[in-house]
Amino acid sequence: MLINIGGWLTDPTHWTGPNGIPTRVLEHLLYAGISLLFSAVIAIPLGIVVGHSGRAKWTISIANSLRAVPSLGLLFAVALWLGPKIASSLAYVIPSVIVLVLLAVPPILSGTYAGIQGVDPAARDAAQGMGMRGGELLRKVELPCALPLLLSGIRGATLQVIATATIAASISLGGLGRYVIDGLSVSDYPEMASGAILVALLALAMDGILALVQRFAVSPGLSGKFRNTPGNRPVVSTTARGDAATEPASPTDRADDQREALV
C-alpha cells in the first residue's frame, strides 16, 4: 500500500496541470489566506474593543458557542442556501470562504480578547505615566503584550481553516481536499491517502512557520528570554491567569483553539 502511495506521489502527471499538486497546494493556501485575512479584519478590532472596554462580552460567548456546531454541517447548510444564488464559477468558493471565516473568527477573537484583557495593569499604568494615550498606548504597549495570545489564536484559526478547506472539497471546492474526496468517490486509496498526507504536511508546515513568527515577533520581555536577569521579569505573568474553566487566557484554551482546528 505504501508503495502505491509513493508511486502516486512521484508520478510526474500528478505534478502538472490544473489538477496537479502545485496548483492544488496554491489553491488551498489561497482559500486559507483569504479567509484568514477576512476573519482577522473582523476579529482583531472586535477583540481589542471587547477586551479593552470589558463590555459586549456576549460576542465572545456567541463566538465560542459556535464551536459546538459541526463544521461539516455549517459547510453544507451554507452551500445549499447560497450556492444556487450565485451564478458564476464562484458558486462554491463564496460559501466555502464564508464558512471558513465563520470558523476562523472565534479563535482569533478569543485570543485577541484574552490578550488585551490580560495586559498587566501595572504596564498600562506605567505607559500612561510616561504620557502615552489612546492609540499610542494600544500600539506600543497593549498590542505587543497581547501578541502571544493573539498569535496563538491565529495559529489555531489557521489549522482550523486548512482542515475545513479540505472538507470543503465535498462541496466542489478545489485545493488538496480534491484528492481525498475524489479518491473516496472512486475508492482509489493511493489517491486519497496521498491527499491526506499532503494536507497533513501543509498543516504542519504552516503551524511551524507561525510558531517561528510567534517566536520572533513576540518581545523578549514577554517571552521570558530575559527571565534570569533581575529587573526584566516578563510583563505578563503566565501563572497568574486564574481558573482554567472560566478564564479564556488559561493554557487549556490554547489547546482548545488547536483542538478545534481538527474538525
Partner 1 sequence: MSWVADHLGDILWYAGQHTLLAGIPLIVGLLLALPLGWLARRYSRLYGVIIAGSGLLFTIPSLALFILMPLILGTRILDTLNVYVAMTLYTLALLVRTVAEGLGAVPDSTRQAATAMGFTGMRRLLRVDLPLAIPVIAAGLRVAAVSNVSIVSVASLVGFPQLGYYLTDGYQRTFPTEIAVGIVGCVLLALIFDSVIRAGAWAVTPWQRVAR
Nearer to partner 1, 53 or 185 (CB): 185
Report if residue 188 touches partner 1, rule: CB under 8 A. no
Task: Classify residue 66 by its DSSP letter.
Answer: G
Nearest-angstrom CA–CA distance, 2 and 6: 6
Closest CB to partner 1 among residues 138, 165: 165
Give the shortest CB-204-to-partner 1 separation in angstroms: 5
CA separation for the pair 222, 195 (Å, rounded): 39
Q: Which of 6, 7, 73, 220 binds partner 1 (CB under 8 A)?
A: 73
Piece of 24-32, 115-123, 230-238, 240-248 that binds partner 1 (CB under 8 A): 240-248
Interaction between residue 119 and partner 1 (CB under 8 A): no
Report the C-alpha gap between 75 and 173 in whole angstroms: 11
d(CA 25, CA 121): 44
**Helices (H), ranges, 54-92:** 58-65, 71-82
Please state the closest distance from residue 250 (CB atom) to partner 1, in A: 8
Q: How many residues does the chain have?
A: 263
Among 37, 90, 204, 209, binds partner 1 (CB under 8 A): 204
Q: Sketch the per residue contact string, 50 through 69, with partner 1: x for CB under 8 A, - otherwise.
A: -----------------xxx
Which of 99, 146, 199, 236 touches partner 1 (CB under 8 A)?
Answer: 199
- What is the C-alpha separation between 51 and 110, in angstroms, rounded? 9
> DSSP state, 172?
T
Evaluate whether 149 touches 249 at the Cβ level (below 8 Å).
Answer: yes
Per CB under 8 A, which region of 37-45, 46-54, 128-136, 159-167 contacts partner 1? 159-167
Residues 112/146, Cβ–Cβ less than 8 Å: yes
∠ CA 60-168-18, nearest 5°, is: 135
Q: Which residues bind partner 1 (CB under 8 A)?
A: 1-2, 5, 67-74, 76-77, 79-81, 159, 162-163, 166-167, 170-171, 177, 180-181, 184, 187, 189, 192-193, 195-197, 199-200, 203-204, 207, 243-245, 251-252, 255-256, 258-263
